[in-house]
Amino acid sequence: MAHHPRSETTAAQKQRRTRLAAFSLYDFADSAFATTIVSVLFSQYFSQKVAGDQAALFGHPIPGPTLWAWCVALAMAVVALLGPVLGALADRGGVRVRALFLFWLPGVVLTCLLWLVDPGEWILGASLFTAAYVAFAAASIFYNALLPEVAPTAELGEASGFAWGIGYLGGSLLLVLNLLMLQRPALFGFTDQLAALKACFVSAGVWWFLFSLPLFFVFRETEKAVTAGRSFLRETRSAIAQVTHTGRELLRQRNLVRFFFSYLLYNDGVQTIVTMAAIFGAEELGMSPSALIVFFLLIQATAVVGSILLGRMADRLGHRPAIMISVVAFAILTLWASFVGILGNALIEYWVLGGVAGIFLGGIQSASRSWIAHWIPVGREAELFGFFAIMSRVAAIFGPLVYGALVLTTGSLRHGILAVSLFFVAGGSCSAPSARKRSNRSGRRSPAPERRLNRREGCRSGCPRPRLAGDEAVPKRTWASTNPGLNEPGHRKQSKKRNRREVRRRLPASSLRAACS
């Protein structure tokens, strides 16, 4: 029976749309944890009611904001240690969806158990939150690893931005429901506002559970497990060896190393802002939980627009410009936030800051995720997104630690915000393209990369390299050549040694000179 290419193309497009919808719905689901628990309600409740002035370590009182920041840092440290190994195991066994399930379900249960945390029970609250945050962040490793299966390489930026936008929409809708629960607790059957507030934590877990289900029905493991008959200990050792090899390969790519260090710094600032913004508004400006919800609804609304627009910008102009615009904007906004009130009304200024910051909040995260997806080789998605998770979690360690230490020593949240702006300045400096001279000693313009490559091959005239029979059948052996993201601006140049080795493998110089003559 004949196959019609047009019908096959239509079926493939339908499958991509279905995968994008399921992928985006998971972002729609887990944003409930990121907003209600991490950013808005539980963070403020833990800082003011659960810990407050009652927490103490080794006889020394610890402020609530400091303890919250250190819980976030501890959770991120655990994920940073486990992330790459878990990703490598998932890639070798072809079990990314099942690994996602194994972290997603405990995360949902632990989120619902936050209902048990009463004021003053800071040990229970810190333990449950830290464990839930570890499950949430670990699940994100395997979720992000599914991105290359959602869209073609050229459309990854737009697909990632669309999913981020849907995620912010999900977090916003749940915040609206939480706002109604807090303002009218009797309507939902609660006796007081504290019971309604604790029920909001349960709603985040239920929301995360319900809207994640389509992903587990749509995505199927397409790879056969390669770990059958092997012990878990042996496979873990193989995974660690694979991660070590990946780290060495990454270190050979100078541009990728620069991007990772840049991401480490600016994402440090982003994660600190996300986890501490509600506490800053409550402690410094006296915002109520209902006001904080509306404030974050504004951020979510602008983040939906920003993630989609900057995702398209990344596809059309390159990921580096989109990221640089966001980093510079965040540096200016955090500097303003540390002196909020300088124009006369601190509360109005904070609302303006939140609306503008939301535009770049979604954009910088989606552009970073799609840039990583561009150069990941097929079959190593979870492992390399594990490295991506390492950078984001390591980033989330130092920012809250510095922020909490400054609050502990100075007693002011503004000094912590001022330190965050320095992370954006340093991250932008690392991400900026290096200024290299384009001319040679004689003052003439340097030849194009293709002409220099031809001259290395032995063609002194600089004529274009002819396409010879058998070229397409030559396997690409280098790790870097399997990464389409190296065609991104800033990634096109490889080292001279690698170019010469590739040329010698593909074609002898004498054969090329004969072909050009």
pLDDT at site 390: 62
Instruction: Check if the beta carbon of residue 481 is closer than 8 Å to that of residue 253.
Output: no
pLDDT at site 380: 63
pLDDT tens digits, residue range 413-462?
887 788 888 888 888 777 655 444 333 333 333 333 333 333 333 343 34
pLDDT at site 252: 74
**Residue 137 structure tokens:** 């962040």
Give kind and range of the element (H or E) at residue 343: none
Q: Which residues of the chain have pLDDT under 50?
A: 1-2, 4-5, 8, 224-229, 434-496, 503-517
**Residue 57 structure tokens:** 């370590």
What's the DSSP call for residue 121?
Answer: -
pLDDT at site 431: 64
pLDDT tens digits, residue range 376-425?
666 666 566 656 666 666 666 777 778 778 777 777 788 778 888 888 88
pLDDT at site 325: 87
CA 402 – CA 339 distance, rounded (Å)? 19
pLDDT at site 99: 84
Instruction: Check if the beta carbon of residue 513 is closer than 8 Å to that of residue 454.
Output: no
The CB density around residue 449, as the number of other CB atoms within 10 Å, is: 12
Structure pTM? Answer: 0.68
Among 248, 233, 240, 220, residue whose Cα is nearest residue 479: 248
- N-term to C-term CA, the chain: 50
pLDDT at site 178: 92
pLDDT tens digits, residue range 15-66?
888 888 999 999 999 999 988 999 889 988 998 888 877 766 766 778 888 8
Taking CA atoms, 205 is separated from 14, 104, 199, in Å, by 31, 10, 10
Q: Residue 32 corresponds to which amino acid?
A: A
**Residue 130 structure tokens:** 């830290």
**Residue 181 structure tokens:** 């629960």
Q: Residue 209 corresponds to which amino acid?
A: F
Q: Phi and psi dihedrals of 445, rounded to 5? A: -70, 135
Average pLDDT, rounded, for the chain? 74
pLDDT at site 432: 58
CA 320 – CA 259 distance, rounded (Å)? 9
The CB density around residue 134, as the number of other CB atoms within 10 Å, is: 22
Instruction: Check if the beta carbon of residue 153 is closer than 8 Å to that of residue 484.
Output: yes
- 11 burial level (CB within 10 Å; 0-12, 13-18, 19+): exposed
Q: What does the angle CA 422 – CA 428 – CA 433 come to, to the nearest 5 degrees?
A: 155
